[in-house]
Amino acid sequence: MDITEIALARVTDEFIAYIRRPQELGKEWALDEASEFLVLAATLLDLKAARLLPAGEVENDDDIALLEARDLLFARLLQYKAFKEIAAIMGGWLDREADRFPRLVGLEPQFASLLPELLWRHSPEKFAALARKALAPREAAPTEVGLSHLHAPTVSVLEQAQIMRAMLAAGTALSFRVLIADAETTMVVVARFLALLEMFRDAAVTFEQASPLGELQVRWTGVSRDWRSNNLSAEYAGVLSEMSVPEEAIQ
Amino acid sequence: MIEQQNSRDPGDGADMPGTDVHDLPGGAGAALEAILMVTDEPVSESQLAAAVGLGVEEVGGLLLGLQRHYDGYTGRGDGTGVGVSGSVAGKPVVDSPEFAAGQTRVTPRGFELRRVACGWRIYSRSDFAHIVSRFVLDGQSARLTQAALETLAVIAYRQPVSRARVSAIRGVNVDSVVRTLAQRGLIEETGTDAESGALLYRTTHYFLERLGIASADELPQLAPHLPGLENLQDFDDSSY
Amino acid sequence: MIEQQNSRDPGDGADMPGTDVHDLPGGAGAALEAILMVTDEPVSESQLAAAVGLGVEEVGGLLLGLQRHYDGYTGRGDGTGVGVSGSVAGKPVVDSPEFAAGQTRVTPRGFELRRVACGWRIYSRSDFAHIVSRFVLDGQSARLTQAALETLAVIAYRQPVSRARVSAIRGVNVDSVVRTLAQRGLIEETGTDAESGALLYRTTHYFLERLGIASADELPQLAPHLPGLENLQDFDDSSY
């Protein structure tokens, strides 16, 4: 592609249409993309000028890096444009095909009667269970990057707070070592430690440490008998909500 | 009559001003073929005549011509409106003698045009029944696939229902599965949707028999077990 | 296959090997036609070959012969294996004189045989669309929107692909469009991305059918629409 053959006005039109679409769909105006376009337009002018004038030069490495970044954006724009053209071609094919009707007829009776008798082993209840499954609203599959492939299982701070509260309910002080004795992973230890900090802030527990780096003794104060894990600060719970199980599941 | 003329030269069409069906490649006979090739139910001569804009008698003659042509005869025959196929020379059978005065044997097709009670329909030729049977049975299973079962369940609990709606609920195209279920006699068509005009489907008596219940009312209730049933309204046909 | 054969008894026992399909009226070509009359999906050459007891290559040649015959050419073409995409040839020119040495034009039929989605299928000829469409109640789906077409194009060329990547290319959220395309059977889920765990999508056989092409290889080349950006792949994948 010769850069000098690109009509900037056309690219501009297309880009404006491109960034307007989210807007038309009621989404936020893509300000960052709009500003990217200004950079792109400047770059295009830059490139055109450089190509048209033999003396035109790229000045320094920073400029080159910038140009590369703009190239990327430009390449994406061109790619989108290519798909748009292809879509138009495919649309034409679909229209052309709509004029042809396939032979779509039922099997003639003498052949239909040859089909093997259906094996049917569904009771009405089993069939209803099938219907329930088929009719249940399906969760929209997540658009975000999934976490399920991460091998570390997710650990809920809320859940760990509940567990420790139960352990401390008797009123005797327990060392942190004891509190994490059944922790299977480091993540659980971390979650319990974070939970303790939260509970401490709410004055639900007290800490005693006889000497620096000594055993940490944790005691349920009893002051906040009705302390619940949902006392955990909202922003904290919010941040971790992705990793948490619903509270009802714990109680 | 005019039937011989209109079939002679499809490109010409000058003999029948006002009708364009003769101008199409293959002419009026081909137009009838086009309809017959894609219709499942037999089509009456009057329906065909209305569709191609010709008289019923003329269409009757054209149909007889097609029938003879598929059966391997060509030529004018006894002169009653069979001219359509005259210009359509199939691969001649080399070792076949002349059939009769003015008629030639051509290769019969693998299909035949039959006149049944209420109209005309194209069937596979019975000589090939054993081959067709072999084909039909190849790969057939005595079991319904999971997709077919789930589609059947949706139809059973939402009947009468259009394919588009079942597709929306299941999230996949169900056309082919619905054909299988209909072929197996588990569902049947039951009129069209007043708004969209789409075909509606319901389950059959055979389905109830297989399930061991007397009527669709005896299907176990779903509602208590189905949280958010009202959300199903979201799966409407809006995307169609 | 074995268990299906014993589950029925056609009675004629004619499916035993040894029946030479060439001896039947119309020969092997007619046998193929007979099968094509009862299928509701494109049939592969190997399925047809198994049913008629011939080699896949021979069947391929016969199918091309039938195709040409329906399109109005007679005589031998230039042998088998030519013009696989001859199915896209569309309507023949009626006024054309002799087609080539040894070939004659005859009247095209009202139907055509086409190779779509890796199989063969009979269609009504598009010239008669306005006539045939009155008889096809439920066959045609609504046109795709521009957004759906663009999304479909991206998926077709980048498959298997996640919604996030399609979104990145199109610059908008494509979730609902992808859902519609899946409901229409044009795309389907095909596992998850090993790294991100995102659902991946690909186009279906039905997509090829709707486009009237035999395989995704027949899609237009993307390169000519991307002038001079030979190294686009570098950008392409790194940025998502």
Give A102 to chain C, closest Cα distance, Å. Answer: 4
Annotate B152-166 with DSSP letters as a single string: HHHHHHH-SEEHHHH
- Asked if the bond preceding C97 is cis, omega within 30° of 0, the reply is no
Instruction: Give the pLDDT band (50/70/90) at residue B151.
Output: very high
Measured between beta carbons, the chain A residues lying within 8 angstroms of C5 are none
Query: Is A33 an 8 Å CB contact of chain C?
Result: yes
Pick from A13-17, B135-139, B212-216: least confident: A13-17
Query: Is B142 an 8 Å CB contact of chain A?
Result: yes
- Position C73 scores a pLDDT of 82
- Position A61 scores a pLDDT of 62
Helices B146-158, A124-135: crossing angle, 10 deg rounding = 90
Q: What is the CA radius of gyration of chain A?
A: 32
CA–CA gap between residue C173 and residue C164 (Å, rounded): 8
Q: Is the predicted pLDDT of residue B57 greater than 70, yes or no?
A: yes
Among C125, C199, C225, beta carbon nearest to A82:
C225
Give B70 to chain C, closest Cα distance, Å. Answer: 10
- Position A56 scores a pLDDT of 47
**B151–A107 CB contact, under 8 Å:** no
- CA torsion through residues C46, C52, C53, C54, sign: negative
CA–CA gap between residue C74 and residue C84 (Å, rounded): 17
Spans of chain A below 70 pLDDT: 1-12, 14-16, 18-73, 138-154, 222-251
**Which of B157, B174, B204 would best serve as a mutation to test chain A binding (most A beta carbons within 10 A)?**
B157
CA–CA gap between residue B131 and residue B113 (Å, rounded): 19
Q: What is the pLDDT of residues C135-147, one digit of tens each?
A: 886 555 678 999 9
Among A75, A89, A149, beta carbon nearest to C232:
A75
- Position B84 scores a pLDDT of 38
CA–CA gap between residue B153 and residue A122 (Å, rounded): 11
Q: Residue A4 in contact with residue A46, Cβ under 8 Å?
A: no
3-state secondary structure (DSSP) of residue C199: strand
The DSSP code for B202 is E
- CA torsion through residues A58, A64, A66, A67, sign: positive
Q: What is the pLDDT of residues A72-115, one digit of tens each?
A: 667 777 788 888 899 999 999 999 998 889 898 888 888 888 88
* Higher pLDDT pick, A53 / C106: C106
pTM metric for this prediction: 0.65
Q: What is the pLDDT of residues B170-208, one digit of tens each?
A: 999 898 899 989 988 999 999 888 888 888 999 999 999
Cβ neighbours of C234 (radius 10 Å) = 12
User: Of the segments A207-216, C11-20, C225-234, which one has the largest average pLDDT value?
Assistant: A207-216
Size of interface B-C (CB pairs under 8 A): 216
**B154–A132 CB contact, under 8 Å:** no
**Beta partners for residue A216, in sequence order:** A209
Give C54 to chain B, closest Cα distance, Å. Answer: 12
Q: Residue B74 in contact with residue B103, Cβ under 8 Å?
A: yes
The first and second tokens of residue C99, run together, are 């087609």
- Position A219 scores a pLDDT of 87
ipTM of the complex: 0.76
In the block, tokens 């229209």 appear at A95
- Position A41 scores a pLDDT of 66
Determine the length of chain C: 240
3-state secondary structure chain A: CCHHHCCHHHHHHHHHHHHHHHHHCCCCCCHHHHHHHHHHHHHHHHHHHHHHCCCCCCCCHHHHHHHHHHHHHHHHHHHHHHHHHHHHHHHHHHHHHCCCCECCCCCCHHHHCCCCCCCCCCCHHHHHHHHHHHHCCCCCCCCCCCCCCCCCCCCCHHHHHHHHHHHHCCCCCEEHHHHCCCCCCHHHHHHHHHHHHHHHHCCCEEEEECCCCCCEEEEECCCCCCCCHHHCCHHHHHHHHHHCCCHHHHC
**C74–B89 CB contact, under 8 Å:** yes
- CA torsion through residues A173, A174, A175, A180, sign: negative
